[in-house]
Structure 1
Amino acid sequence: MSEWISDDVWEAIVENMPIVSVDLVVECPDGVVLGKRANEPAKGEWFVPGGRVRKGERLERAVHRIAEEELGIGVEIRDSLGAFQHFYETSEIGCEKHYVAHGFHVWTEATNFDTDKQHKALDVFERPPPNLHEYVRMYIDETSWSENSE
């Protein structure tokens, strides 16, 4: 489940407390990057890249680490979108999952992205696709990309 926390500890965390994370609205020259989730929560949904914040890690450092780990790119932070609460009925361990996610709008000049184990696919969208997950829509509503919605 985690490369730096044992499975037993991770399960206890998910079962008993919220997880602090960062989510990235990654803007590039051709649009915004979304990943098709490969695992729970939100499996099969187009979602923004994101991940857990590690103890002692500043949010901004987590943004850069996750952009590198999930997409293979460097990013420039444009704006903090604030804190959001995400509640999922499913998780990789079979119980509900609660995130306190900090959204960031970031920019990259990159046009090629590496897919990691979190995503089945990555794509760049000029406009927000229809039927986006409600949590992705909340981030988009905080950016100028929402003005491109149909």
Structure 2
Amino acid sequence: MLREDVFTCIVKNTPLISIDFIIENKGKILLGKRVNEPAKGYWFTIGGRIYKNEKISEAQKRILKDELGYLGDFNPEFVGVFEHFYDTGFNGIPTHYVNLAYKVNLDKISLNIPFEQHSEYIWLEADEIMKRKNVHSYVKDYFKGSKYV
């Protein structure tokens, strides 16, 4: 892990690269209510940053393990590249993410979800996601022009 002062400098001066998972099970998508900035209090997809010298496939496994307690096999389907800009983020610094979105089908039973990054979780159909005001607009971007809506 980086020292806080080093990470602060990075966030101030460079974009971060992250992965978000559109986790689907029987037509519903898993969202978590964020407890940290950015997007604190919003329903958001599950995801995280890619670390220096970490392959994307390794980051995918780590994020699914850390965020969902998932250790099984999965077959990520690339959805696209998205940019996320937040006025608030780490230590209140505006944050820029280059986000790689992937769709993954996972069985609810195989998840052992911790509550460190999210206070609660919900499974919603895509049309419900688009209607809810407390689902972050960046999540809704994943479904615009897609087969979901």
**TM class by smaller structure:** 0.7 to 0.9
Equivalent pairs counted in the alignment come to 143
- Which range moves more in the overlay, 55-64 or 9-18? 55-64
Runs of 4+ that moved beyond 6 A: none
Query: % of aligned pairs identical?
Result: 36
Q: Using structure 2 for the length normalisation, give the TM-score.
A: 0.87
1:65 match: 62
Inter-partner Cα distance in structure 2 for 1:86 and 1:105: 18
2:11 match: 14
Inter-partner Cα distance in structure 2 for 1:142 and 1:55: 32
1:134 match: 137
User: Residue 92 of structure 2 is aligned with which of 84, 91, 94?
Assistant: 94
Deviation of the 1:60 alpha carbon: 2.4
Q: Establish whether residue 120 from structure 1 lines up as the match of residue 123 from structure 2.
A: no
Q: Establish whether residue 110 from structure 1 lines up as the match of residue 128 from structure 2.
A: no
- Which range moves more in the overlay, 109-118 or 7-16? 109-118
Deviation of the 1:76 alpha carbon: 1.8
Across the aligned residues of Structure 1 and Structure 2, the Cα RMSD in angstroms comes to 1.8
Q: Using structure 1 for the length normalisation, give the TM-score.
A: 0.86
Inter-partner Cα distance in structure 2 for 1:124 and 1:75: 21
Which AA in structure 2 matches 1:71? L
1:76 match: 74
Inter-partner Cα distance in structure 1 for 2:4 and 2:93: 14
Unaligned runs of 5+ in 2: none
1:12-49 deviation per Cα after TM superposition (whole angstroms, max 9, x unaligned):
11111000110110012361110000010000000001
Deviation of the 1:77 alpha carbon: 2.7
